[in-house]
Structure 1
Amino acid sequence: MKATMMEAMEQQRVLPQSVIKREGIPAWKRKVSEVATMCWMQMLELRESWMWVVVLASIFPLTTLLFMKFLNPNPTPEYIVQAIAGNMIFAVILTGVNVMSQNIAWQKEQGHFTYYLSLPIHKLSFIIAVLFRGLLNTIPSVAVMAVLGALVYQVDFHYSWWLLPMFLLAIYVCSAFGTMIGFWAKNQQLANMMGQVLLMFLSFLSPVMVTLDQLPAFLQWISYLFPTTYIAEAARTLLLSGYDASVGWNLLILVGYALCFTVLITKKINWRTK
């Protein structure tokens, strides 16, 4: 991974010259070029390991999905949607929160941000590129779980155009959550521990694998603090019956989480932190 990161840096030596302000070039074009180059660097990092990321992010949700199939051989349509949606969201949590937090903490320990310090880039451009990486990590796993879930349970979902913005927003929020943990953790070991604890809690003690009313009262109140609650509710409703007012409210809350996490990450980034 370190060699891959350094290779990406070497291939992008022209970045400082490409983002320096030039006379006659509009500011928005410079920002677009800056963000595009940063995203390209993230893609260079992932080009050799993306397949393993997809496999590892899919195997645990897949085994959970199969276990739920064995546990309930004659499920209701509601149970099927709950199981498939829950495991799709599990893949989002795994790659967004867990993988992203460890990746950011690892880069911080390796001193990679010293390289970004030498570049005339805005912190928000780096955040967008990092979240773009989270998007690339997560979308294949979600697609794999959707296809395999439909094959395992032999069910047809209620497809809606609202599924696309819902999952993109869910991936953004979870990736931003993981990025925030990675910057706040003092070292990679702490980020790993925090990611593992949150992974277990968000997956099994919040309404991801189960519905909200199946949880004890105190866990129901705690669940309202986490964005995965609103992701799960929106996904289940869309896959089961389509868009309604509750989906709109859940998406609006997720937009609030996305803005909040983005602001917190921007305030926390310190290029000199190692």
Structure 2
Amino acid sequence: MSQNYAAAHLKATDERVYLEALTENVFDAKEIRLDFNGRNSVTIYNVNTVAENDYVRDGLSRLGVLVELGTGTQTMVLSQDKSFSFSIDRGSYEDSMMVTEAAKAIKRQVREVSVPATDVYNLGVISAYAIANSQGVIAGTAVAYNTVYQLILAQQAALTELKYSKEGRTLWITPTVFNLLKRDPEFKADCDLSYNDNKAGTIGKVDGLTIKEVPASMLVANFQFMITCKNVAVAVNKFNMIRTIDNDKDVDGWICQGRRYHDLFILQQKGTGIRIYTKA
């Protein structure tokens, strides 16, 4: 890469803007722990139920025909094995006011590349699942300021009909659609924008939904909004390694490297807890 060496006036670094992790705390399912220690795939069980019968007060099958309880399985295989590697020459470091300090460079790499790439992947998996299974409105009419809130409430109702709790639901929305939503009089009456956690990307709550505003560039094409329920997916980070090598025989300086092994899995028994709205 090209180098810009320091003159006397270059004493600060013009850092780029960045977002904190948006999906990390949402899909960290605390009720489900997937142990990938020593392996790259795990299999979990799900257990069937049986229908109830009308009790019969005589005969030999009073509680109904005996049915052996069945089970199913879901196998999850880690697929995201990502890495980075760059060097910092000692001469370049000394001639640029030490702005390429290794520790700061690695932190910059993680926050500007690794974190958003993970969010894009996680939201992409969730969105693709909902679209593939027609969960919501696919290729619908573009939302307007006087329709968006009612469209969101319709998807809320669909999730409630599927018996999902209102607790722990998240609304993912683009800035453009959120601006339309803020103009809706009914939304303004219901929403509590005083709940604000910028580090987690949370900007408010409405109708039991935690609102997360996401740049459209991080989402699938024609995305308008999406609702996810609690524990619908599990984000797994098997390891997140970063290191600095300062004694390599071929580099007088530092080698900075990182590797992360991760994935996101939608749980089969909760997969219907995603509703998406995309425009045509």
Higher-Rg structure is 2
- TM-score normalised by the shorter chain: which range applies? under 0.3
Tell me which protein shows more helix as a share of its residues: 1
TM-score under structure 2 normalisation? 0.25
Tell me which protein shows more strand as a share of its residues: 2
